[in-house]
Copies of this chain bind each other. A is one copy, B any other.
Amino acid sequence: MISTPKEELNDRLRKVQHIIAELQADACIITTSVNQFYLNDFIFDGYLYILPESDPLLFIKRPLGIEGQRVEYIRKPEQLPDILGKHNLSLPRRLLLETDALSYTAAVRLQTALNMPEMINASQKLREIRSVKSDFEIQQIRESAIIHAEVYSQIRSIYRPGMTDIEFQIELEYRMRKAGSLGIFRSFGENMDIYMGNILAGNNAQTPSPYDYALGGGGITPLLPLGANGTPLKEGTTLMVDMAGNYRPYMDDMTRTFAIGKVPEIAYQAHQVSIDIHNEIWETAKPGIPCAELYLWAEKRIKENQLEPYFMGTVQQAKFIGHGVGLEINEPPVLTRRSKEILQPGMTIALEPKFVLPHIGAVGIENTYIVNENGLEKITLFEEALISL
């Protein structure tokens, strides 16, 4: 396990302290695993208490055994005022909290324990900070992408005529884990469950899901209505493989599509439009360009090719072509018509213009790109054509 360099952790903390100042708050309490890991390099049950000018305090319930001058063991949030007093700190009057993730019960209990400070949502600001990656972070995404491609290169040998989508997925999951997939696959937002990725075969690609992912699928259980549902891999249909690139804490994202035997010409055409959109954005996008513009370029190509009815689904269509990726699979920026974000150096974006063709299946590819000073760098390097199985 690689530790985050101390200087980089300090940089990240300074960015949060900058937000505390900007929002005229007195402190920021971090409770989510992802942001604790980002700012503290390890996860604990408790409160990472970030102050505007001094080092953070760690109020830890579990695990036992963490040592440090700024570590305080607690059983409950009601102990915070006394301990803050001991450190000569007054109670916060304005407090930043990750209220998009923290439960109402936990937030109100904390607010009450701290004598009712005004609470300000820091979730989006923290996501913005995380959306611009350091070289250290980008290196991990690069490494993940290399392993991801290596695993996808095993797909041809996994495929057996007559197998179902879920049988295929299980074989692929096994190879992913053997290649170092960390298993856990984090996404942001309530009710955004997923397990190791999304495999879509044939008409199951049309099935809408409750989640805010690119595509749907019915799933094998009503407890997780997403992805593979037992569809046999049948001649004339496609198999879209969008499995997790979770080989490092910082993830990449990559989709490839396979044709079972010969598929109708429209599948090759639509797949090529996805590739064309990628190439256009890859060649043209650079820092300073609004994310919304990327969406509009894609939309133009989609309309020229009369593919709107199939773009990102049929029954239910996700009007976006990509998203940031990092510790979570859905980070800013989001690439939609209404995006307010501007491309910045250090962003890592997954582009995924896809089409769902009735009676055939999903087509298109997804690549991860790093936004460099002078343009996009593609890091998910693997055969892009519709691959025959």
A interface residues with partner B (beta carbon < 8 Å): 1, 31-34, 37, 41-45, 62-65, 97, 99-108, 119, 121, 123, 170, 173-174, 177-178, 182-184, 186, 190-191, 193, 195-196, 207-212, 216, 220-225, 249, 315-316, 327
Chain B residues with CB under 8 Å of A224's CB are: 182-184
Which residue of B is nearest A195, CB measured?
Answer: B183
Partner of A174, one of B41, B65, B174: B174
Closest 8 CB pairs of A and B: A63-B208, A183-B195, A104-B107, A99-B104, A174-B174, A170-B177, A64-B316, A45-B210
Q: How far is the CB of A171 from chain B (nearest CB, A)?
A: 9
Chain A contact surface mostly: loop
Known: A43-B191, A104-B97, A195-B184. A210 touches B170 (CB 8 A): no
Docked complex Cα distance between A174 and B173 (Å): 8
Which residue of B is nearest A182, CB measured?
Answer: B221
Which residue of B is nearest A41, CB measured?
Answer: B222
Q: How far is the CB of A250 from chain B (nearest CB, A)?
A: 10
List the number of copies, as a whole number. Answer: 2
Q: How far is the CB of A119 from chain B (nearest CB, A)?
A: 7
Chain B residues with CB under 8 Å of A177's CB are: 170, 173-174
Q: How far is the CB of A192 from chain B (nearest CB, A)?
A: 9
Given contact pairs A42-B225, A43-B223, A104-B106, a sample of 10 additional A-B residue pairs in the complex whose CB atoms are under 8 Å apart: A33-B193, A33-B223, A43-B191, A45-B191, A62-B211, A103-B103, A104-B108, A104-B119, A182-B220, A182-B221
Q: How far is the CB of A6 from chain B (nearest CB, A)?
A: 15
Docked complex Cα distance between A281 and B193 (Å): 37
Chain B residues with CB under 8 Å of A173's CB are: 173-174, 177
Known: A103-B100, A104-B108, A222-B37. A65 touches B182 (CB 8 A): no
Which residue of B is nearest A63, CB measured?
Answer: B208
Chain B residues with CB under 8 Å of A31's CB are: 190-191
A63 near B101 (CB under 8 angstroms)?
A: no
- 14 pairs, CB–CB < 8 Å, chain A vs chain B: A32-B191, A33-B191, A62-B209, A62-B211, A63-B216, A64-B315, A97-B104, A99-B104, A99-B108, A104-B106, A104-B108, A174-B177, A183-B196, A183-B224
Docked complex Cα distance between A344 and B99 (Å): 37
B210 near A223 (CB under 8 angstroms)?
A: no
Chain B residues with CB under 8 Å of A178's CB are: 170
Partner of A190, one of B44, B106, B208: B106
B182 near A223 (CB under 8 angstroms)?
A: yes
A222 near B43 (CB under 8 angstroms)?
A: yes
A223 near B103 (CB under 8 angstroms)?
A: no
Partner of A63, one of B34, B193, B316: B316
Chain B residues with CB under 8 Å of A223's CB are: 33-34, 37, 43, 182, 184, 186, 249, 327
Q: How far is the CB of A173 from chain B (nearest CB, A)?
A: 7
